[in-house]
């Protein structure tokens, strides 16, 4: 039972000619950089639409009960460090469990 789960929602296509194409290897590379990251490839956009977000990727942190913690992180800032951005909310969530 994991105490914290980080979910990355991606609607990237599997079709190489699509504008939003991302290979499985590219998404796996991101997942490998962040060991606690789970990537959901939402090809139909169903889950993404349910989040109410308008920017991809959308990243959620879930507590051990599956509740979303803090605000969703949206988009990617190439100058930012995702681990540093998520660390405070993960630490806070772990301290409450």
What residues does 68 pair with on adjacent strands? 62
CATH number of the CATH domain containing 90: 3.40.30
The tokens describing 9, both together, are 């929602």
Domain of 62, in residue numbers? 4-96
Quick: pLDDT tens for 11-42: 877 888 877 788 888 888 888 888 778 999 88
- Domains held by the chain: number: 1
Nearest CA to 93 out of 71, 62, 66 is that of 62
Distance between CA atoms of 1 and 70, rounded to whole angstroms? 20
Whole-model pTM above 0.85? no
Length of the chain in residues, anyone?
Answer: 97
Is the pLDDT at 97 greater than 80, yes or no?
no
């Amino acid at each position: 039972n994991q105490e914290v789960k980080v979910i990355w929602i991606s609607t990237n296509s599997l079709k190489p000619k699509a504008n939003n194409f991302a290979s499985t290897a590219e998404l796996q590379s991101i997942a490998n950089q962040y060991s606690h990251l789970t990537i959901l490839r939402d090809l139909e956009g169903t889950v993404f639409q349910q989040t109410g977000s308008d920017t991809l990727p959308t990243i959620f942190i879930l507590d051990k009960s599956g509740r979303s913690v803090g605000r969703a992180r949206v988009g990617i800032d190439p100058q930012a460090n995702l681990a540093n951005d998520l660390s405070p909310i993960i630490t806070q969530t772990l301290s409450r469990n």
